[in-house]
Structure 1
């Protein structure tokens, strides 16, 4: 049966009760139509989301107005290689870039991540209070992805400042103005790599030919924007959500602080329970079915990954955060599934783990400020708007 739901993942009012709402929708109809945002199909069930993610011949990663295009609107007409392509075209790009995101490549960034964390925290500690989102979790990831791209130290600092300004802009005018400056900066870097390629990620993106052609500048700018967004937004929000989890559960925090070896399991369960990538889009390319829902070419789908990880058909207590959750034959989908499974997951694991480790080491008594009103965010990305905290002066 097809049910009509007025669900809009971009509505801020959805954020606080997102998973309660998605759970009710999932139990009623795991594939349902929403009349919001010009109409789309909301997919909330584990089996249905995994099926759509693993069938690129039926569901394309390119979708207008949902998913990636909702994160990067400055170049809406351009198609970002790898992020918005499928099948062999996507596979060629993924193979070309994979070497920069292996477990070994992620481990090689650990020392730099730790140094940036300590430097950032040293500036915060004397204040005794602050917002950990703006002052910490959003500070580290853009510098890391900037380094992977091959930017120099000053360029990384510029990137970090402008990326944070772009996604923190309060008006459409500010977003457009900052977006144009940011796009021009990336275009300059792309042209420089065309003339003087190196061994970094951006050089690889610029010099890789797929399907016998060189990728155009607009495509590369959009691809780089999405690469930075993937490296920055998802990691920053994952760390903010992880920090909130520890602040709201003192016993769990004491356990993790006493044994940093538990952080890997903590991060993995967090990604299952509250994945930073909340939803991504797909477009039906043929007449098909998903669940019992008939679909036509052009139908837009929204895959709600966090809902899949709480599907009672596979996770009996999926709404519960459980540090020592046993591995099951059913893997969680917090990193995605299919050919678009998160390429940077090893890097994200290292960053979030080290950021939490350094925070707990530097300010072991960090706590939410009295009467703090913590507001969660939801949309394409799941996170926390701000974390007003305090700690003892040291």
Structure 2
């Protein structure tokens, strides 16, 4: 699929018409200056530092975004283009829910101040919405994996539009043939403009005014019309619906629908109930002290082919652990105290009622069905 062709300007990362605008983006200048010595020369060890690579990727993204603004202006097939960075209205950064611009001036979908997904750029055609991902990393496996969540979220928000992606990579990137069919791939020359990076950090150039895009097709994120998606209320609905079957403890057929396949891509895990500690410890050899007499049970999408039972255990010190079996070996992972999973588990724990308890026989039956492939990706 190549509805949009890359221009020579973009392919060659031509800065002639966009360079001044790059100085209006926010950068962590204070910390980035530490990468240089007192004579403002890049330290030898800084070339391969994570901070320098991250900054280089950030600038690459801004270069492509500025080019896309120009590209959209000339392309009649692009009907709307979402503004971000220095181009968007600063009054719109304080919203807490929905599609919006965050405090970092990025396009995000938020729920209760938490980012569900971020998009490097968004634009519309007559019948489609394109999300844009830009990366100068040569390895693309991680980027490819992230597309599932972004695509699924947009399918929920825009059910009447085709969801497509524009992926912008640099020469030498691997795994290009593995991207989904809905992706258009653009390849640019490699980005190694150390002088530009230095100028941006130290503001070495007398740049002009911001070139603005005021045509009607350039829009604010908060003005985009989409179907409402309530993150936590959806998790609650899935729990209640999956446990409402007259004869089955958990209605696994409910999880086999197209709609639920999208939710698996957005949430990764869906909550199906809890198990008491005494039952949990018969299934899992777990010795740590658990805060309450219940362990949260989820069905989790491990990868595009595998679904499995995963437990979430809150210790007496309030730390949350992800507990699961991988190749019959017990795995225990720490969860971020400020992350979404912590918020989800606290929310879902308040929803639980006695009838949401799962027995050992229920867990064993669900695990067996999952291993047999009762749930598949769509």
The TM tier, using the shorter chain, reads under 0.3
Task: State the TM-score, normalized to the length of structure 1.
Answer: 0.24
Max radius of gyration: which structure?
2
Structure having the larger proportion of residues in strand? 2
Give the TM-score normalised by structure 2: 0.25
Q: Higher RCO, 1 or 2 (CA under 8 Å, sep at least 6)?
A: 1
